[in-house]
Structure 1
Amino acid sequence: MADTLFARGRQPRNMTERVVVMGAAGRDFHDYFAALRDDPDRRVVAFTRAPGQNLGETEAGGDDAFPAALTPDGRGPIPIVPEAALAETVAERDADTVLFAYSDVAHGDVMHAASRALAAGADFGMLGPDSVQLDVDVPVVAVNAVRTGCGKSAVARAFADELDARGLDVAVVREPMPYGDLVEKRVERFADERDLAGLTVEEREEYEDHVAAGHVVYAGVDYRAVFERASDEADVLVWDGGNNELAFARPDYHLVLVDALRPDHGERYHPGEANLRRADAVLVTKENAASDDQVETARDSAARLAPADAPVYHSDSVVRADDPDAIAGRDALVVEDGPTLTHGGTPHGAGYVAAEDAGAASIIDPEPHAVGEIADVLAEYDHLDDVLPAMGYSEAQLADLEATIDAADPDVVVAGTPVDLDAVVDVDAPVVRARYEVAFHDTTPAELLDAGLGAVLDP
């Protein structure tokens, strides 16, 4: 048991260390497959799910279980319990240890979770990169960030475009939260619009722009199997990490993004700070939208926390609307990327900027028109004004989104979500899409790849 937490402290109550993993169907499942599933000295006895999280039908006959088919020798199923029941779960499952596997969490909230675990009588910890990052047979370029909504996907697309232009077969690997049948979603491959059918809005947000750009996307539940399949197809992989998550594979080149609009978040959020401290290079984004003081704070934070030999680059996030004339002079309802607005904490995204830039007559406040679960979301995230998060974790939530948009009766909907909103909701108003594009100040995707992977890509 030398590699367990207990090598550094007391012995577990049980001969086999019994573990509860706190997470939200992302990093927690990866930690399980990468380090816990086949460890003879540890056994996962429960996962937790985030408050309000709907995982869908995770296993035939039950909504709240990690399937037996994904456990060794059919050992499962493993219960997936509400996070609020952590203390009861530690007692009922006789757990020795709680492992924390969330991303995009304020440092103080990590310690509140630790306090709950300790009060329940369990040890508390988390698995680090050396324990869970997988070795892959082809080069891996990782694009990570200190927070969700920094612009990772735009940079990842730029890398994929450049690699494709060099005649290399490239695949993007994403880390979403999988919904529905986890056995069926063990390894997922998306190559065209048909592959996206039946996904939730949140899943489509992860894949759609990459697929539209002509890049194959891999994702799933078991990332050991995901990376094996992706590396069989591609010469090089681009990791486009969810939220501010650690890369699931050991990167050959690791670029970390810092958002100039949230300039000090690199030292306030987990695991974003760890990303920054492990970066090969740093890119400060959205400098065009930030004040001089914010840009200076972001640059200073990046230079102070990143390794001394990690260069710091600078960029703008440019918003482009598909049809600005359709917005000008009209009453607009803005729908934005859900995670960026909710747990990401940003007040708005590309849609709001596009509506203002195009000269919308007004931007409609959606709150008076919100119904059902959408009303609940707006009440919970009271920092949101004049924007509507594109929430669609379930059919009911998607229906509430449609009803909210129609009740607002806009002349036009400006959609800053990566999803083609017109394809997933049936609303009366026309939809104009808006997107962020990255504009580098002092480097290019080609220069970054040459600096980070030159010897590997061009031996």
Structure 2
Amino acid sequence: KIAEKKADIILWDGGNNDLPFYKPDLHIVVADALRPGQEISTFPGEANVRMADVVVINKVAEASEENVKIIEKNVRRINPKATIIRATSDIIIDNPELIKGRKAVIVEDGPTVTHGGLHFGAAYVAAKKFGAKIVDPRPYAVGYLKAVYEKYPHLKYIVPTLGYSLDQMKDFEETLNKIPAEIIISSTPFNMANIIKVNKPIIHVKYEIRELNRPTISEIIEKFLNTFKK
């Protein structure tokens, strides 16, 4: 209620396991083209899709057309009124010339590639795109990371960020420092250098969404906001 009094717009940015605390006037949900079926098989993913005004299917450029159509079909079946936008994530790196030909260890967002089920993320895509030589990190894993690779055998070429305790962060740091690579390519949303000390330069990967059809997200939001103008 305090936020309602002080703000003109309330923007709720939920994670992969969130439901909004109130019914939004405009509800935008992102589906992953590399994970078809999760839009109707997970909670609260399915609930969010059912409530959505807009469903953005991201990573379309990396997925098969068959998988994209599966998601579109599922969305239309449970929420025929939703607007569906196809989109891709463009990789952005400040210094791509630092990657080509160099041995690299790949660090990805932990939940995405562990219980999220993906084999890789944006850092791996960037490494392949810009010609890095990816080093298999598994032989150098210590502590909890060794257990993670045993639990998630699909993880072959990446180090997931899952360190929450001091001991886990220590294992994470030691693993990265043991890997015989020249650089670290990371797509995590935080700066690792602020919490651990590594012996390799870190190259941060960002990505920016690009819609492949209209209406775009900006057009939908602009139209929505215009309905509230006096």
Q: TM-score, normalised by structure 2?
A: 0.93
How far off is 1:233 after superposition?
A: 5.0
Q: CA deviation at 1:445?
A: 3.3
1:351 matched to 2:123? The reply is: yes
- Residue in 1 that maps onto 2:35: 262
Supply the AA of the counterpart residue of 2:49.
Answer: L
Give, as a single letter, the amino acid of the residue that structure 1 aligns with 2:153. Answer: D
Q: Which amino acid aligns with 1:391?
A: L
How far did 1:392 drift? 2.0
Q: Please, which of 145, 157, 162 is the counterpart of residue 374 of structure 1?
A: 145
Higher RCO (CA 8 Å, separation ≥ 6 residues): 2
Q: Map 1:433-448; keep pairs closer than 5 Å.
A: 433-441=204-212, 442-448=214-220
Per the alignment, residue 302 of structure 1 pairs with 75
Query: Contact conserved, 1:409 with 1:429, CA < 8 A, in 2?
Result: no
Correspondence 1:19-98 to 2 at 5 A? none
Change (3 A) 1:412 1:233: farther
Question: Which stretch of structure 1 is more off in the superposition, 240-249 or 288-297?
Answer: 240-249
Runs of 4+ in 1 over 6 A off after TM superposition: none
Choose which of 98, 116, 119 in structure 2 pairs with 1:326: 98
| Equivalent pair of 1:254/1:281 in contact (CA under 8 Å) | yes
**How much does 1:285 deviate?**
0.9
Q: Which residue of 1 aligns with 2:64?
A: 291
Which string of whole-angstrom CA distances, capped at 9 and with x for unpartnered residues, describes residues 359-387 of structure 1?
01x21111110111121222212221100
Q: Is the 8 A contact 1:261 1:294 kept in 2?
A: yes
Q: Deviation digits for residues 38-83 of structure 1, max 9, x if unmatched?
A: xxxxxxxxxxxxxxxxxxxxxxxxxxxxxxxxxxxxxxxxxxxxxx
Which digits, 9 at most, give the CA deviation of each residue in 1:286-305, with x for residues without a partner? 11111111121122122222
**Pairwise CA distance, 1:272:** 0.8
- The answer for the alignment partner of 1:312 in structure 2 is 84
Which secondary structure state, in structure 2, belongs to the residue aligned with residue 345 of structure 1? coil
Which residue in 2 is equivalent to 1:405? Answer: 176
CA apart distance, 1:246: 1.3
Query: What residue in structure 1 maps to residue 154 of structure 2?
Result: 383
Whether 2:53 is the aligned partner of 1:273: answer no
Q: Which residue of 2 aligns with 1:235?
A: 8
CA contact (8 A) 2:187 2:206 kept: yes
Match of 1:339 among 99, 105, 111: 111
SS at match of 2:10: strand
- Cα distance change of structure 1 residues 233 and 384 upon mapping to structure 2, 3 Å threshold: farther
- C-alpha deviation, 1:406, in angstroms: 0.5
Residues 1:450 and 2:222 are matched in the alignment: yes
Give 3-state SS (helix, strand or coil) of 2:227's partner: helix
Residue matched to 1:431:
202
CA distance in 1, matches of 2:224, 2:149: 42
- Secondary structure of the 1:262 match is coil
The CA distance in 2 between the partners of 1:241 and 1:355, in whole Å, is: 29
Percent identical pairs in the alignment equals 38
CA distance in 2, matches of 1:330, 1:415: 15
Task: Verify: 1:252 aligned to 2:25, yes or no.
Answer: yes
- Measured in 1, the distance between the counterparts of 2:96 and 2:108 equals 17
Give the 3-state SS of the residue equivalent to 2:139 in structure 1.
Answer: helix
TM-score (ref. length: structure 1): 0.48
Check whether the contact 2:135–2:180 (CA below 8 A) recurs between aligned residues.
no
- Distance of 2:138 and 2:17 partners within structure 1: 29
Task: Report SS of the residue matched to 1:325.
Answer: helix
* Cα contact 2:56–2:85 (8 A) shared by 1: yes
Q: CA deviation at 1:232?
A: 5.5
Q: Distance in 1 between matches of 2:5 and 2:199?
A: 45
* Structure of larger gyration radius: 1
Letter in 1 for 2:76: A
Structure 2 contact 85–216 (Cα < 8 Å) conserved: no
Q: Is the 8 A contact 1:253 1:453 kept in 2?
A: no
Is the contact made by 2:185 and 2:203 (CA closer than 8 Å) also made in structure 1?
A: yes
Which letter maps to 1:419?
Answer: F
Which residue of the partner structure matches residue 39 of structure 1?
none
Aligned partner of residue 389 in structure 1, secondary structure:
strand
> Which runs of 5 or more structure 1 residues have no equivalent in the other structure?
1-136, 138-227
Where 1:332 maps in the other structure, the secondary structure is strand
Shift of 1:358: 0.8
1-structure distance, mates of 2:182, 2:122: 18
Supply the distance in 2 between the matched residues of 1:424 and 1:325 (Cα, whole angstroms).
26
Letter in 2 for 1:236: I
SS in 1 for 2:74: helix
Equivalent in the alignment of 2:186: 415
